[in-house]
Every structure is written in C-alpha cells, then in structure tokens.
Structure 1
Amino acid sequence: MTEATTIFGIRAIIEAIESGSTIEKVYLQKGLRGDLYFQLDKILKKNKISTSIVPVEKLNRLSKHNNHQGAVAKTSPIEFQDLDSVIEKVLDSDKMPLFLVLDQLSDVRNFGAIIRTAECTGVDAIIIQKSGSAPVNSETIKTSAGAAFKIPICKVDHIKDAIFQLQAADIKLVAATEKTEDSVYDFDFKQPTAIIMGSEHKGVSNSILKMVDYKGKLPLLGEIESLNVSVACGAFLYEAIRQRQ
C-alpha cells in the first residue's frame, strides 16, 4: 500500500516514471512545447500512461500553484500486479478461479463499488485496461471501503490481451450483455471463469463479445432497459457463488 501523490514539473514526472512509480494519469497544459516536454511525451507514450490536456487553471489547482511547468501527475495509491503472475498463482492453488474483467468502465464510484463486491465474493483479480479506464484514486478507494488494497488489480495494454491470457489458461469467458437471448443463470460457473463487464454507456464492446465463450443477461421485468453496472456485476458474481456453493 502506498499513498497517492501529486507530482508537478516535467523533469520530476520523468524521474518518477523512470524510477518505477505507478503513474495513474498525467495532466498537460495545452500547447506545451520544448525539448523537455518532447522527452516526457515520448516516455508517456512508451509506458502507455494516460494523459489529459487541460487549461492552466486546473494545473494551478492540482499543484496548489507550485511551479508545474505545464505538467502534473497523479500516482496510484496501489501497486498494480502482473496478470501472468496472478493467473499462475491462482492456477497453482486449490481454489476454483474467478476473474473479473472491466471493459472501459469509466466511473470511479462504480469502479469502487465493484471492487468492494469482488473482494466480498472472492474474486481472484480484477483486470482493467491502461487507457480509458476509471483510475484508482482516493474516491475509488473510499467507495471500495478499502477493498482496493485487498484484491489484486491488473492493468493490461488492451482487454484483448487479457482475454488471450485467460483463454490460454483454459478459463471460460462470460460477458454481461443485453445483446443476447441467453440468461446468465444458464451458464455453468462451476468451472474456471472470467466475467466481463462493460462500460456504463456502451456495455461490452462488440469486438470483445466476438471472443467470449458465453453471453448472458439478467432478467429485467420493469420499464428501465438496463441496470447500473455495479449492480449487474454483483448479480453475476453472486450467481457464480450460488452455483459454486
């Protein structure tokens, strides 16, 4: 467990990345130029670190008006784990594997709620994509009730990378989606499983849906067309627990 930190100044951010700090996101001033900036830009792209172009006023707030040189970075309060190592560790144990893959989930409160439910249901690891995913920040930690410190969270370059790794380990993939007539209750969770949940607005992407072993949906008996993703995730996870018990 580490403390989340704000780093300001281009050279300081470069040094933090090169020293192995887990950078969650870098905020850059629009129109930034110069040799040092181009060096930072190259390192950010090489390490696939998420960036956002923001007005100088936001940088002033983030850095509390310290000399930020047009760049402010936020470190992650947790250390992300290597997916291959986690899969190997789980397969070597006596436990039936249960992974959770989040495809471009963007809301930190949904993320925190999902982390909390995942920890309560014995999920072995949560897998997210490096870019486009909700960050693990103080609000995520708070909403998770501290569960973010108790469950492995793995970052991959692309969700497809995780799917290939899980498939190579003979782990079945079930996607939560309304784009199917099949019920989640018909899927056999009594086997090594990874549940895939999609983003708040688009759900699981079509390219990912083409790769999974099963697509399942929850029954909706009212007029609202979909559940909140954290609620749906909880329903899927507890169906897995129900079957396995």
Structure 2
Amino acid sequence: MKQKPNDEQDNKTEFISGRHPVLEALEGERPINKIFLQKGIQPSFAAKIEKLAKQKKIIISRVPKNRLDELTKHQNHQGVLLTIAAYQYATLSEILKRSAQQETAPFLLILDNIEDPHNLGSIMRTADAAGVTGIIIPQRHAVQLTATVAKTSTGAIEHVPVARVNNLVQTVKQLKKENFWVFGTDMTGQDYRKWNAQGAVALIIGNEGKGISPLLKAQCDQLLTIPMIGHVQSLNASVAAGLLIYQGFTSRGN
C-alpha cells in the first residue's frame, strides 16, 4: 500500500527499502532525494551505499533502527531506505518503440485488475528475468506502482516499463490492429505447454479471484490452461503468470 505523505515524503515521492531494491534504485535513472542508513550497519554495505551516494551527490542521513522502523511502518527494511521520485509510467507507444529498437518481437503482459501489490511485484520480477517487453495495467480497480511493489520486485521495477491505460479492451483491440496475437487463461483453454509465443504477443493475466473479465476474454485469439491434478484447482496469480511467461520465453527460442 502506498504510504501517506509525512514530513519526509510528499505526493511526488516514494519510499524504497531493502538492500537489493535500494541498490537497484541507486543504479537507475530516477532522481533520489535522500538516503536513510541505519547506524552501526555492516561496514562493507555502508561503504557501497556511500560510494554510490557520493557519485550521485545524494545526502545520507544516519538514523537509529527505530527511526527506519517508523518510516517503513515496521517492514523489513534491512537497515536502509531512500526517498525517490514517484514511479513514472510509460506509454504503450514508448514500450513498442523500445521493442523495435531491440529488434525483437514484443512480448507484452496485460494484467486485468491485479489487486495484490506482492503479486504485481513478483510478476515484474519474472517478467524482467524472461525479457518481457513491458506490462500494461488499468488505471482503476487495480494495484499501481508502489513502494511495496518495488520491494517485492527486488529491483525489476527499475527495468520493466509499465503503461497505464483507461480501457484494457480498447487497448487489446489496438494491439490486434498492430498484428499482435492475444492470449488469455481459462479452465477450458489449450494446454499452456503447447503454446507457441513467437511473433508479437500479448498475454493476459486475470484478477486473483475473478480471472479475466468476459469482455476482455472475448478479445483473445486463444485461451490457455495450466493442467492441475491436485485437489486445489487454482494457482496464485504470480505463480500462474510465472509458468506462462516461461513457456512463452522458451517457445520464442530463448
């Protein structure tokens, strides 16, 4: 959940905590306002943070652990936190342009009202590992890019562009006009292990409880299913996304 503004943060900044997410942010392009480093933290890690901060001329404030606990609402901050400019969303055209520059067929993820920030963060982590071109999310009724998403993504949020759109159905129609094949998930779909994701593709991952909305499902060129033989006939959204993303990754010859 996005933290409320206080004396250290306003509506144009976010908190990032945790060693790996902080290091990824320091190596990224977004402006960083300030670093909070726990007093008495491991010297080798402190030296790494100090070196990066000096290169970017960022102020470091050494604070006791209870101050970091307070700023992070008692999350596991691992002794470091920074305030950074709020996440900037890409446009769909920017994502497609990025793919053209890389001379690879685009592989997009469309997230239909994912609500759990931990699911979004985990999906971003897998997307980055598998070379997904970009992610599309709706502006309403879905989790946005927050500090929790950033931490769960372990830095992937700095590398995977995310576009917000007003209407997912209209966005899918636009993609189909640009020769994308659109795939979704459904219990009656084809075994995902037979999915060939070569070419320009968009994969839709549905809401944690409701799945893909009927109007969006109607736009899919093909539906995929993950076979299950156990007693529980459903998977966590990020787990299902991970299986599908890597099938797409493998079938594209990676």
- Evaluate the alpha carbon distance shift between residue 184 and residue 135 of structure 1 in structure 2; reply closer, same or farther with a 3 A threshold: same
Alignment partner of 1:202 is 2:202: no
Q: Percent identity?
A: 27
Structure-1 residue corresponding to 2:148: 139
Alignment partner of 1:152 is 2:127: no
Structure-1 residue corresponding to 2:191: 183
Q: Please state whether the residue corresponding to 1:194 is helix, strand or coil.
A: strand
Aligned equivalents of 1:22, 1:101: Cα separation in 2: 26
Q: Which consecutive residues of structure 2, in runs of 5 or more, have no partner in the other structure?
A: 15-70, 72-83
Check the 8 A contact 2:195/2:248 in 1, yes or no: no
Structure-2 residue corresponding to 1:130: 139
Instruction: Give deviations 1:116-163, integer Å, cap 9, x for gaps.
Output: 000111000010000011121111110000111111000000111321
Instruction: Give deviations 1:18-77, integer Å, cap 9, x for gaps.
Output: xxx699xxxxxxxxxxxxxxxxxxxxxxxxxxxxxxxxxxxxxx9xxxxxxxxxxxx983
Check the 8 A contact 1:22/1:79 in 2, yes or no: no
Check the 8 A contact 2:115/2:208 in 1, yes or no: yes
Check the 8 A contact 2:196/2:252 in 1, yes or no: no
The one-letter code matched in structure 2 to 1:163 is V
The one-letter code matched in structure 2 to 1:114 is I
Q: Please state whether the residue corresponding to 2:231 is helix, strand or coil.
A: coil
Q: Please give the residue correspondences for 1:32-181 in structure 2 after superposition, counting only pairs within 5 Å.
A: 77-178=86-187, 180-181=188-189
Alignment partner of 1:240 is 2:248: yes
Check the 8 A contact 2:192/2:226 in 1, yes or no: yes
- Evaluate the alpha carbon distance shift between residue 86 and residue 181 of structure 1 in structure 2; reply closer, same or farther with a 3 A threshold: closer
The one-letter code matched in structure 2 to 1:152 is P
The one-letter code matched in structure 2 to 1:232 is A
Structure-1 residue corresponding to 2:31: none
CA-CA distance at 1:7 after TM superposition: 4.9
CA RMSD between the two structures: 2.6
Q: Please give the residue correspondences for 1:2-41 in structure 2 after superposition, counting only pairs within 5 Å.
A: 6-7=4-5
Aligned equivalents of 1:200, 1:77: Cα separation in 2: 26
Aligned equivalents of 2:133, 2:207: Cα separation in 1: 21
CA-CA distance at 1:167 after TM superposition: 1.1
Structure-2 residue corresponding to 1:36: none
Structure-2 residue corresponding to 1:222: 230
- How many residue pairs get matched? 183
- Evaluate the alpha carbon distance shift between residue 92 and residue 168 of structure 1 in structure 2; reply closer, same or farther with a 3 A threshold: farther
- Evaluate the alpha carbon distance shift between residue 107 and residue 76 of structure 1 in structure 2; reply closer, same or farther with a 3 A threshold: farther
The one-letter code matched in structure 1 to 2:111 is L
Q: Which consecutive residues of structure 1, in runs of 5 or more, have no partner in the other structure?
A: 24-61, 63-74
CA-CA distance at 1:187 after TM superposition: 2.6
Check the 8 A contact 2:191/2:224 in 1, yes or no: yes
Structure-1 residue corresponding to 2:18: none
CA-CA distance at 1:5 after TM superposition: 7.7
User: Which of 186-195 and 221-230 deviates more?
Assistant: 186-195
